[in-house]
Structure 1
C-alpha cells in the first residue's frame, strides 16, 4: 500500500513541536503535548521514569516486537554564572559550538515557570569598541546573554528570579518556504518525531494491521547520550533510530532523500537490518542515500552500548547544518515517511 503522506499536516505539527522549548533536561512541556496527541488518537502509551513516552500498536504477532525511536529533546544551555554586569555565562547542553548560537535570541526558564528573553552575544561584539570583535574566541568565557530587562548587577538579576542552573532555550525561527524547504533550529530530531507521530496517527485512523507489535519511543535525553537505552520491551528484536542524516563534504546524504546510516562513531549498524532498509527503499521506489556519519551517535547505538540484545539500524531525513540553523526539504521528509511506513509493514530480518 502506498503511504498517503499528509505534507501540510506534518509541517504544521513540526512547527508546533519546534516552537515548544525542550532542551535536554527540560522536556516536560513537549512530552505533555505528545501525550495529549496520543490520547486524542486513542493510542496506548506509557511514560518512563526518565520522562520518555512509548506508544504501542499491537500487531498480528505479539511475541516478536519491533521499536522505532525519535528524540524530541534539543540542544540548549543552562545559566552557569550571573556576571557582575548582570549578563549571564552559559554552560552548553548537547554537542555544539558557541559560534552556532551567536546572535540568537533565547529564553531563560525560571523556576516559577515564567521566562525572561535575551540574546546570546560575544562580549566583544561592538566593533567600534573592541579591536578583536572578529577574532576573539567564541567560548564560554567570551559569550554571554544580554537580558531584555533593566538589570545591571548580579543582585538585580537574582531579584528577577534568575539563578544558576536555569535552563536556556534558543529561538527556533521556523520557516517553511514556497519552494519546499523547511528552515529551523531543532529539526534534529523534531523532524523525525513529527514523521513518527504522523505515522502513529495514520495507523490509528486506518486500523492498518501491523505484522508485529510495534513500539514508538519518543526519547527525551538523546542529545546527552542516554535517551532510548532503557525501558525497551524484552520482546523487541529490531530497534530503529529515526534520526537526521548528516550533510557535508564527503557525505552522500542530501536534503532530498532519506538517509540510511551504515556506520557512525559507535561502529557499524546491523548489516542485515541495514540491507533490509535499502531493499525496502529500492522495492518501493523511495529515493535514498547510504552514508557514514563520523561524529554521530544515536539512541540505537546507546541501546546497544547499554547491553540490549537487538538488531539496530538508523535512517531519517537529511538535515543541512546540523546543530546550527538547520534546513531540510519536503522531498526528504516524504521519502523518510515512506520508508517508515514500508518498514513497519515488512517482515523481521532473520
Structure 2
C-alpha cells in the first residue's frame, strides 16, 4: 500500500494544531498532543531537553540519515506590565509588528494553568474620543489588552491570578472555505507540521520502506531563532526545513504551489540538494516555485549556524500574509505533501 494524500485528515489535523495555543516558550500542551498522536501510530520518538520531539522511521540504509523539521511554536506575547487601569502592556514573542494583532482576541495563560480572555486594542481606540485614533503609533506604549473581567486596577488584575511574565496567545480563527482556502493564524508553521505528521502516520500504516533512516523533528523554538539547531543525529547527511513560502511583491511563491527556497537572509541553501528538490518536482509533475526570502530564517539555517555538517534545504506551502492573519490553499498543501513523499523515497544527493 502506497502513501496517498488525504485532504480531510490533513485539514482536521491542521485545525487541531492551530487551535492549541503554543507561543514560543509555552509549547507543552501541543507537544503533549503530538506525542499522543505518535504513540497512537506506534512511532518511535524521543524528547529533547529543550522540549522538541524527534520521531524516527528506520530505513534500508541506517548509516546515512535524513532529517525533516517543522516547528509548532508560534508568535505570541507575554505580559510586560499591569497598568493602573487594569489593562495589560505586552512584550512580543517572535518577529512581527503590533499592527498585525490589533483587534485580535487573546488568552492570558495564568500560572495555575487556567486562562482568561481579552482583546488586543489601541489605548486610543474610540474615534469619538481620541483624535489620533487612526494615526497614533501601533507600539507597546499604545497597544494593550482589554480583559474580559471587571478589574479596574493592577491589584484587581493580580487578584485574578495574572502576573508579569504570563504568556498571551492569539485566537487563530481557523476557517476552511468551500473554494479550498485555509485561513488562520499560525499556518506558519503548523501547516508544514500537519504535513510532516500525516506523512509519518501514512508511512507507518503503509509499511512503505524508506531508502534511508529518516527523522521527523518537531521543533518548538524556531520563532526565536534556535528551534532545530541541536540534537541532530550524527549520521544525518541531509537536513530539510519544511516551512512556509513567503508571498509578496517581487516573490514567485503563491498559495497554490510548493515553494522551494534557494536563499534567505542567512544565505544560499545547499545547491545540490535544492536542485534535487526541483528535479523531483519536475519528475513527479508537482507544481512548484523557486524563491528567495529576503527577511527570513529557518531551523535549517539555524542548524548550519550552529555548526551542523549537513546539506540543508527548505521548502513548504505558500502562505499569504505571513505573521498576520495567514492564508493558503489546499492545492499548496497537496503539492508540498507530494514533494515531501517524493523526497523521502529518493536517493541522497552525492554532491
1:185 aligns with 2:185: yes
Q: 2:79 touches 2:88 (CA, 8 Å); kept in 1? A: yes
Shift of 1:4: 1.4
Show the counterpart of 1:209: 209
Aligned position for 1:329? 329
Question: For residue 263 of structure 2, what is the aligned residue in structure 1?
Answer: 263
CA–CA distance in 2 between the matches of 1:201 and 1:2?
A: 12
Secondary structure class of the residue paired with 1:172: coil
| 2:176 corresponding residue in structure 1 | 176
Q: TM-score, normalised by structure 2?
A: 0.99
The whole-number CA distance in structure 2 between the counterparts of 1:70 and 1:234 is 19
Give yes or no for contact 2:245–2:260 (8 Å, CA) kept in 1.
Answer: yes
Q: Corresponding residue for 1:6?
A: 6
Whole-angstrom distance in 2 between the partners of 1:3 and 1:275 = 24
Q: Is the 8 A contact 1:24 1:224 kept in 2?
A: yes
CA contact (8 A) 1:3 1:338 kept: no
SS at 1:321 equivalent? coil
Contact 1:15 1:174 in 2 (8 A): yes
Offset from partner CA, 1:66-108 (integer Å, 9 cap, x none): 0000000000000000000000000000000000000000000
The 3 A distance-change label for structure 1 pair 202 and 40 is same
Residue in structure 2 matched with residue 132 of structure 1 by the alignment: 132
In 2, Cα distance between equivalents of 1:255 and 1:292: 16
Partner of 2:72: 72
Does structure 1 residue 277 correspond to structure 2 residue 277?
A: yes
- Structure 1 match to 2:218: 218
Q: State whether structure 2 residue 114 is matched by structure 1 residue 114.
A: yes
Instruction: Give the whole-Å Cα distance in 1 for the aligned partners of 2:346 and 2:112.
Output: 48
- Which residue of 1 is the match for residue 238 of structure 2? 238
After superposition, the C-alpha distances for 1:193-220 in whole angstroms (9 at most, x for unaligned) are 0000000000000010000000000000
Q: How does 1:244-259 map to 2 (within 5 A)?
A: 244-259=244-259
Give deviations 1:238-262, integer Å, cap 9, x for gaps. Answer: 0000000000000000000000000
Counterpart of 1:307?
Answer: 307
Separation (CA, whole Å) in 2 of partners of 1:30 and 1:142: 32
Q: Is the 8 A contact 2:3 2:203 kept in 1?
A: no
The 2-side partners of 1:43 and 1:308 are apart by 26
Partner residue of 1:165?
A: 165
Unaligned runs of 5+ residues in structure 2 are none
Deviation string for 1:141-173 (max 9, x for gaps)? 000000000000000000000000000000000
Cα deviations by residue, 1:288-323 (Å, 9 ceiling, x for unpaired): 000000000000000000001000000000000000
Note the C-alpha offset of 1:3.
4.7
Deviation sequence 1:227-282 (CA, Å, 0-9, x none)? 00000000000000000000000000000000000000000000000000000000
CA RMSD of aligned residues (A): 0.7
Kindly provide the CA deviation profile for residues 38-72 of structure 1, in whole angstroms up to 9, marking residues without a partner as x. 00000000000000000000000000000000000
Question: In the TM superposition, what whole-angstrom CA distance separates every residue of 1:121-158 from its partner, at most 9, and x where no partner exists?
Answer: 00000000000000000000000000000000000000
Question: Aligned partners of 1:169 and 1:127: how far apart in 2?
Answer: 27
Within a 5 Å distance, the mapping from 1:80-99 to structure 2 comes to: 80-99=80-99
Q: Is the 8 A contact 2:3 2:202 kept in 1?
A: no
Give distance in 1, aligned partners of 2:116 and 2:6.
36
SS at match of 1:100: helix
**Is the Cα contact below 8 Å between 1:187 and 1:326 reproduced in 2?**
yes
**TM-score normalised by the chain length of structure 1:** 0.99
Residue matched to 2:26: 26
